[in-house]
Structure formats: C-alpha cells, structure tokens
Amino acid sequence: MIEVENLTRRYGPYVAVDDVSFRVHPGTVTGFLGPNGAGKSTCMRMITGLTPPTSGTATVLGKPYAALGNPGRHAGVLLDASAQHNGRTGREILTLGAIMMGLDRRRVDEMLELVGLTPAESRRRLRNYSLGMRQRLGIAHALLGDPQVLILDEPANGLDPAGIRWMRSLLRGFADEGGTVLLSSHLLHEIEVVADDLVVIGRGKIVANGSKAELMSAAGTTVRSTDDARLANALEVGGFQAGPLAGGGVHTDAEPRMVGQLALEQQIALVELREAGTAGLEEMFLQLTAADAREGVAA
C-alpha cells in the first residue's frame, strides 16, 4: 500500500505539487499520468524520501520510506535508469545492491536472467549500455530485494516493442501475486493496457483519479453514422459535447444509449456505436491536462 495525503512541494513561489492525495492498493498497477512538468517525478521523489515535502505525508507499507528497515527489501524503486556509476558493470551494480541488502549472491543471477541481460552483457561497463539495457538493469535492481511494492518512473523509456511487452507482463504478474505497483509513463496506451487504476496530474494537482473502467466509461462514446455532421449537431443541441474524429465519426460525452436514441429521433443510421475506449481515454487525458501540456508531449 502507498498512501499519499495532501502532499505539497513549493520552491519559493512556485508550487510543483499542490495538495495531492491518492492511494495505491496491493494487487493493483496504478498508472500515474501527466504532461512534462506536471509534478509526477517530484511526487515520486517525495514518496521515496529523496525530496522533502513542504507539507503533507507519504507512506509506503504504513511508514515513511526512510523509516523502512532495509527499504530495498520492502519497496523497489526505479526513478532514473542512468543514476548508476558508469564505470561499474551491470553485475557489479547488482552485487553491491545484494551486499547492502544482505541477500544471497545467487539473487543477482536470478535477476539478470529475469530481465534478459546475458552473462556477457552483465560484464559490460554501464557506460556501454543502451538506454533499454539500463532500464532492464534498473528493474532488476528494483526487484532484487523481493519487495512488496514497486515505484517506477518511466521504466519503458528505451525499450523496444518486445521489451515493453515483457515489462507489461512482468508488472502484471507482480501485481497479480499481491504486489503494489505505482507506474509513471508517457506511453498512454501501455498504461491503459496494464493499469487497474489511473491517477492523472496537471499543474501539480490531481485532475482525475479512479479505476480504469470508471475513467474509460467517463471518456465517452465513439459513433459513426451515415451523417456524422447532423448527428453531432443533434448531440450539441441535446446538451452534449460532440466533436469529429480524425478517421471519421464523432466523439461525444453522451452515453451510447443516449446517442442511439438521438440518432433514432433524427432518423440517422448508425454504422458504429461503442464506448470510446483508448481513444476516449487519450482525449480525456489531453482535455484534463491541456493547460499544462506542451505540443506533442504527454509525460
């Protein structure tokens, strides 16, 4: 369990994180979403004790992270895959971690195999690692102490499609066995695939928080018809938001039942009618964070 209560961080007049509260429950993957500069990384640094909060609290397994005895045995953390000594090998980094945590050295080999780093790769200096290899090593280090909680900031950066699928399976399996996962990512689709719950932050404030099913349902409806323009107009007259989709059709905040009823009244034949799903989730995300987003970026 991760509990964040009224967490705030100020830098002079600038408020990076503003009264943020949410929970991450055991057995779930919680996706932490927001554009660059929204406060995600600052919030995760406060949860892990690296940045002191101005006010509010954050606990991991009922305690502040710094108060956990041998914290790596309880909560695995990956905030920056490049924050390791470039002159050390991957194996040396994991071995030092095992020594610090009081683990059997065999755990190092288990983690290297788990994340797909070969014996030859494990003997390379970190300066010769690709970003994807650094991410795999960082995930291995986070899992080294067999923790109950994982806190991961953008772990998919640098991974190829096969690596992203592997990571998704790994995190899903960890949660299904009762683990707690807080996962920050700019890859909205990957978060949508693996997450149970979503927390969306913009300008340091929580703008959406709930189960994926609830938020996707709130994301609205996708509809295609024989006269999309007339249907969109009917929806707007009925008090709903409606806008064209790039590939044709209409996205609206009306429920599918109401869309069907209006189409019937207007005698417009429907070609497709469904909950908006991922496209609607993306649209909702962009709307909620529009004031904080940079063009082409959602991190």
Residue range(s) occupied by CATH 3.30.56 in the chain: 220-275
Distance CA 83, CA 80 (A): 5
Per-residue pLDDT of the chain (299 residues; tens, 9 = 90+): 999 999 999 999 999 999 999 999 999 999 998 887 889 999 999 999 999 999 999 999 999 999 998 999 999 999 987 788 889 999 999 999 999 999 999 999 999 999 999 999 999 999 999 999 999 999 999 999 999 999 999 888 888 888 888 988 999 999 999 999 999 987 777 787 889 999 988 889 998 888 887 776 666 788 999 999 999 999 999 999 888 877 788 888 888 899 999 999 999 999 998 876 655 566 666 666 665 554 444 33
How many CB atoms are located within 10 Å of the residue 153 CB? 22
Distance CA 151, CA 183 (A): 6
Please give the full DSSP string across 159-223, using - where no structure is assigned.
--HHHHHHHHHHHHHHHHTT-EEEEE-S-HHHHHHH-SEEEEEETTEEEEEEEHHHHHHHT-EEE
Structure tokens at 190: 């990957």
Q: What stretch of H or E contains 96?
A: helix 90-101
CATH class of 220-275: alpha beta
Burial 62-86 (b: 16+ CB within 10 A, else e): eeebeebeebbbbbbbbbebeebee
Residue among 209, 285, 203, 207 nearest 39 (CA): 203
Q: Which residues contact 214 (CB under 8 A, 6 or more apart)?
A: none
The DSSP call for residue 12 is T
Check: pTM over 0.95? Answer yes or no.
Answer: no
Residue range(s) occupied by CATH 3.40.50.300 in the chain: 2-210
Three-state secondary structure call for residue 85:
coil
Phi, psi of 246 (to 5 degrees): -60, -40
Longest C-alpha distance within the chain, in Å? 72
Confirm or reject CATH 3.40.50.300 for domain 2-210, answering yes or no: yes
How many CB atoms are located within 10 Å of the residue 295 CB? 4
Contact 31, 195 (CB under 8 A): yes
Contact 45, 78 (CB under 8 A): no
